[in-house]
């Protein structure tokens, strides 16, 4: 057999019978696309997926539609899932069916079969139209696990020939070897069908336009064993007038005047108030036997009892509330405080006349002022919480179940990582307790949808503690995930928590990075690196600012004395360096040493001098030239060392010494 669309005519899948569905195939854009090399797998009652008994039959026309038939073996489960895999083309569709387990009305072996009929083995005397026929063996049925079983709806049934006509026709035509079951449809039981089963096959009750059932004869009794009654017999036993009318059947509500001869009530357990707007005419005795509760008669008309004296006959009360009464007890009670003039009864102090009942004294003793205050506290001017209200609070989901997990699931760089989801359950008093059954947990992503496949099975490591692990792969979608748990402790409770799949940027510290850092460290000097304190100690003997100022002033003064003020250049006015040093009280090398110290000082403090230029040749001659402030000058002859000094204050000139 192969996938066959006729099985799709069933209103729902029937257990252990073939059932067909249409399968749409869509590509990534949602366009219909025929599959290439379909490979269907099914899962029976949550078991692992395996190859299906039948394969999808693609409908011609390139419209992305196929027909798939679940075998009778596959539908012999509570839930069947299907994955319609393809080699290429569309996305993989999914499907699921939930077969119905229908009650069996009768079973047997067919006496004949045809394309659209099956002749039953024995007569069923009542109509089984709209029931289902399911083949179970022989031609058109059977196979491994009932894989070939077919089911069809009976659209008509002949009780004389036992021929059941089905629709649509059978996929495989049955014959005299075919065994079958007759199944009741959903909502119908065999007892319901058999209730209207007539003694004579083929007969049906006649229902008129008003919904009344006509019957020639009826029998009264639980099994119909009573005397057969005709319509006339029943009419004579009932009043000819409508219920509630005068002399008709009494009804709840208003009844017209009705006359009773003898009215006897036996075994009465409760008689409430009887209100009569007209006369209650009892021509004989009114006898009430065994009454345990008698209300009142509210009569606005006359209450007449016909007897010899033409008045109300006596009432003999033998007991009140179980206490036997003498003939005078009730009279004494009526006479007490009765005023015949005003026809009134004076109320008396019951406490004075009645002895203390058992427990009253104890109650009054225990009702202290403080305890009475508790009663006052209940007077809150509004509703007071009842035990039901408190139970409702204790039964809220927030008290009976909690669930927790981490707020962020970090996606790994590779492979997978797991996170724990934990649920705890409590009873109505807040004590930990196991749920009636293992709670169910589902995971839903805002983008991916159902993610429950990433959840492990639940563990129960301690009372009231249930744990699952959720697996996050390196390819997981970054999205919010909602976890929904359902746990039953007599009543079902549900709760939700949220987490988020995230991906943090990471940097990997490699062995090469460590090697490069070590190489940089190895290039550093062994000794301590000089800081400001060490540098200051090294040049502690440098001249002070005042000493430097004095040197510059002395040089400028000497130049002015020897040559006068003005602009001097090396080419026009060479100076005697030896004479200049002597005039300053310096030896031949003193000026050079002083200028060298001045350079080192400037490099440290950057205070008075702004620039120097020193050539590395040993000086042989020296000349000094002076320029006005604001005219920086550095001269290099290419043969001699040049030192250029520049002052930052406004009074000192530029000095150029060419050695």
For 22-34, how does the pLDDT look when each residue is reduced to its tens digit (9 = 90+)?
999 999 999 999 9
pLDDT value of residue 523: 84
pLDDT score of 313: 43
d(CA 474, CA 450): 18
Whether residue 554 contacts residue 584, with contact meaning beta carbons closer than 8 Å, is answered with yes
Task: Quote the CA–CA distance of 335 and 345 in Å, as a whole number.
Answer: 8
- Separation of alpha carbons 107 and 136, rounded Å: 9
Distance of alpha carbon 554 from alpha carbon 582, whole angstroms: 12
Residue whose token pair is 């000493």:
547
Say if strands 213-214 and 218-219 run parallel, antiparallel, or are unpaired.
Answer: unpaired
The pLDDT score that the predictor gives to residue 163 is: 95
**Per-residue tokens: 617:** 């040749």
Q: 164 near 120, Cβ under 8 Å?
A: yes
What was the pLDDT predicted at 72?
95
Dihedral angle over CA of 472, 475, 481, 483, nearest 10: -40
Cα 515 versus chain centre, distance: 53
Structure tokens belonging to residue 226: 């009573």
| 3's tokens | 């996938």
**Confidence (pLDDT) at 224:** 53
d(CA 328, CA 451): 89
Report the pLDDT value the prediction gives residue 528, as an integer from 0 to 100. Answer: 64
Query: Which helix H or strand E contains 591, and what residues bound it?
Result: helix 590-605
**DSSP for 138-187?**
STTS-SGGGTT--EEEEEEEETTTTEEEEES--SS---TT-EEEEEPPTT
- Ramachandran angles phi, psi of 592, nearest 5°: -65, -40
To which H or E segment does residue 285 belong? none
- CA separation for the pair 622, 590 (Å, rounded): 13
CA 183 vs CA 102, 129, 475, 610: distances in Å? 6, 11, 50, 113
Question: Which residues, listed in sequence order, are joined to residue 445 by a DSSP beta bridge?
Answer: 449, 481
Q: Which residue has the tokens 């001017």?
A: 381
pLDDT value, residue 488: 92
Element (H, E) at 657: strand 654-658
pLDDT value for 643: 38
Kindly report the pTM of this predicted structure: 0.37
Closest CA to 58 of 30, 97, 90, 19: 90
Count other Cβ atoms within 10 Å, centred on residue 308.
6
pLDDT at residue 166, as a whole number: 97
* Residue closest to 655 by CA, chosen among 636, 640, 633: 633
Specify the pLDDT at position 254: 74
Burial of 644 (0-12, 13-18, 19+ CB in 10 A): buried
Query: What residues of the chain score a pLDDT lower than 50?
Result: 291-294, 296, 305-314, 349-351, 353, 563, 565-581, 601-659
| H or E element in which residue 550 lies | helix 545-563
pLDDT at 380: 66
pLDDT at 642: 36
Beta-strand runs (E) in 19-88: 19-24, 39-44, 50-51, 57-58, 65-70, 80-85
pLDDT of residue 67: 96
pLDDT score at 525: 72
| Residue pLDDT, tens place only, 525-539 | 776 665 666 666 655
Q: For residue 231, how many C-alpha atoms fall within 13 Å in the half-sphere facing its CB?
A: 4
């Amino acid at each position: 057999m192969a996938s066959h669309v006729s099985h799709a005519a069933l209103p729902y899948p029937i257990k252990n019978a073939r059932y067909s569905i249409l399968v749409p195939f869509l590509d990534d854009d949602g366009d219909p696309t025929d599959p290439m090399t379909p490979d269907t797998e099914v899962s029976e009652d949550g078991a692992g997926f395996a190859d299906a008994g039948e394969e999808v039959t693609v409908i011609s026309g390139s419209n992305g539609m196929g027909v798939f038939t679940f075998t009778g073996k596959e539908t012999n489960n509570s839930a069947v899932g299907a994955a319609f895999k393809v080699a290429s083309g569309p996305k993989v569709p999914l499907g699921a069916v939930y077969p119905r387990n229908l009650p069996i009305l009768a079973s047997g072996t067919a006496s004949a079969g045809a394309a659209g009929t099956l002749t039953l083995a024995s007569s069923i005397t009542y109509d089984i139209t709209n029931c289902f026929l399911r083949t179970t063996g022989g031609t058109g049925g059977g196979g491994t696990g009932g894989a070939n079983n077919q089911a069809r709806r009976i659209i008509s049934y002949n009780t004389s020939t036992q021929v059941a006509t089905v629709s649509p026709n059978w996929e495989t035509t049955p014959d005299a070897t075919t065994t079958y079951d007759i199944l009741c449809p959903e909502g119908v039981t065999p007892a319901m069908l058999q209730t209207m089963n007539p003694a004579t096959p083929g007969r049906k009750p006649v229902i008129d336009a008003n919904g009344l059932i006509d019957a020639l004869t009826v029998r009264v009794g639980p099994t119909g064993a009573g005397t057969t009654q005709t319509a006339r017999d029943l009419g004579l036993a009932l009043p000819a007038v409508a219920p509630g009318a005068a002399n008709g059947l009494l009804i709840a509500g208003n009844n017209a005047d009705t006359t009773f001869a003898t009215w006897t009530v036996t075994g009465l357990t409760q008689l409430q108030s009887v209100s009569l707007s007209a006369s209650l005419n009892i021509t004989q005795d009114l006898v009430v036997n065994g009454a345990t509760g008698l209300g009142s008669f509210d009569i606005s008309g006359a209450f007449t009892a016909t007897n010899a004296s033409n008045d109300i006959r006596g009432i003999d009360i033998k007991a009140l509330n179980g206490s036997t009464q003498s003939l005078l007890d009730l009279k004494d009670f009526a006479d007490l405080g009765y005023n015949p003039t005003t026809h009134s009864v004076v109320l008396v102090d019951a406490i004075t006349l009645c002895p203390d009942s058992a427990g009253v004294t104890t109650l009054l003793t225990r009702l202290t002022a403080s305890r009475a205050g508790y009663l006052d506290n209940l007077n809150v001017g509004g509703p007071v919480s009842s035990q039901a209200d408190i139970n409702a609070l204790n039964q809220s989901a927030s008290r009976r179940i909690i669930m927790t997990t981490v707020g962020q699931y970090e996606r790994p760089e590779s492979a997978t990582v797991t996170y724990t989801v934990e649920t705890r359950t409590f009873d109505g008093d807040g004590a930990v307790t196991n749920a009636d059954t293992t709670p169910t947990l589902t995971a839903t992503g805002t983008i991916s949808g159902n993610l429950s496949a990433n959840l492990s099975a639940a563990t129960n490591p301690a009372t009231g503690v249930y744990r699952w692990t959720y697996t996050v792969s390196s390819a997981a979608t970054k999205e919010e995930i909602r976890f929904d748990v359902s746990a039953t402790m007599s009543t079902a409770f549900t709760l939700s928590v949220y987490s988020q799949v995230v991906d943090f940027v990471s940097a990997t510290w490699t062995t090469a990075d460590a090697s490069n850092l070590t190489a940089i460290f190895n290039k550093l000097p062994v000794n301590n690196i000089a800081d400001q304190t060490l540098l200051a100690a090294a040049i502690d003997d440098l001249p002070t600012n005042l000493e430097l100022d004095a040197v510059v002033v002395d040089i400028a003064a000497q130049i002015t004395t020897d040559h006068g003020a003005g602009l001097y250049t090396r080419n026009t006015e060479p100076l005697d360096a030896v004479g200049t040093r002597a005039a300053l009280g310096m030896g031949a090398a003193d000026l050079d040493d002083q200028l060298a110290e001045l350079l080192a000082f400037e490099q440290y403090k950057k205070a008075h001098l702004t620039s120097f230029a020193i050539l590395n040749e040993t000086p042989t001659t020296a000349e000094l030239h002076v320029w006005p402030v604001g005219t920086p000058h550095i001269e290099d002859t290419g043969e001699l060392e040049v030192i250029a000094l520049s002052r930052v204050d406004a009074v000192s000139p530029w000095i150029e010494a060419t050695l």
